[in-house]
C-alpha cells in the first residue's frame, strides 16, 4: 500500500511567518506534487518534482517554494505567509510514467 504522510493535519500561523509543510512517501515514487484545494476552485498545482533536486512550477507558484533533497521527501515552503494562503494543502506522489497519483491526508493551514 502506498503511503503518503504529511507532517501536520492542522496548522495555524501568523502573517509574515515562514511556514514549512513536509510530505513523505514510502513507495519510491519519482514524482511528487503539491496542490492547494479551495472551495469552488478544485485542486490547483503549486509545484511538482520529478527527481531529487528537480522542481517545476505548477499553475500557482507565487508565494511558494519547494525543496526535494531526498527522493521520499518533498517540502513546501511559504516564505512569508499571507492570509490568502489559508487553504487545504495536499501532497501527492506517482510512479514515473503513470497517471495515478496517491494523496496524503492534507494539511489545513490557517494564516491569521
Partner 1 sequence: DQQVKQNSPSLSVQEGRISILNCDYTNSMFDYFLWYKKYPAEGPTFLISISSIKDKNEDGRFTVFLNKSAKHLSLHIVPSQPGDSAVYFCAASSEGGATNKLIFGTGTLLAVQP
Is 94 a binding residue for partner 1 by CB under 8 A? The answer is: yes
Among 41, 52, 57, 83, binds partner 1 (CB under 8 A): 41
Measured between alpha carbons, how far is 46 from 82 in angstroms, rounded to an integer? 16
Cβ of residue 80: shortest distance to partner 1, in angstroms? 27
Is 92 a binding residue for partner 1 by CB under 8 A? The answer is: yes
Is 46 a binding residue for partner 1 by CB under 8 A? The answer is: no
Measured between alpha carbons, how far is 54 from 37 in angstroms, rounded to an integer? 24
Among 19, 46, 78, 90, binds partner 1 (CB under 8 A): 90
Interface with partner 1 (CB under 8 A), residue total 31
Measured between alpha carbons, how far is 16 from 39 in angstroms, rounded to an integer? 24
Is 1 a binding residue for partner 1 by CB under 8 A? The answer is: no
Using CB under 8 A, which residues numbered 50 to 89 contact partner 1? 50, 56, 58
Amino acid at each position: 500500500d502506498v503511503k503518503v504522510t504529511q507532517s501536520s493535519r492542522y496548522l495555524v500561523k501568523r502573517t509574515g511567518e515562514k511556514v514549512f509543510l513536509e510530505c513523505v512517501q514510502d513507495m519510491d515514487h519519482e514524482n511528487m506534487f503539491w496542490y492547494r484545494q479551495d472551495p469552488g476552485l478544485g485542486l490547483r498545482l503549486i509545484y511538482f518534482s520529478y527527481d531529487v533536486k528537480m522542481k517545476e512550477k505548477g499553475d500557482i507558484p507565487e508565494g511558494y517554494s519547494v525543496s526535494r533533497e531526498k527522493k521520499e521527501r518533498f517540502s513546501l515552503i511559504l516564505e512569508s505567509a499571507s492570509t490568502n494562503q489559508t487553504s487545504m494543502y495536499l501532497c501527492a506522489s506517482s510512479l514515473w510514467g503513470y497517471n495515478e497519483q496517491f494523496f496524503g491526508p492534507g494539511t489545513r493551514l490557517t494564516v491569521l
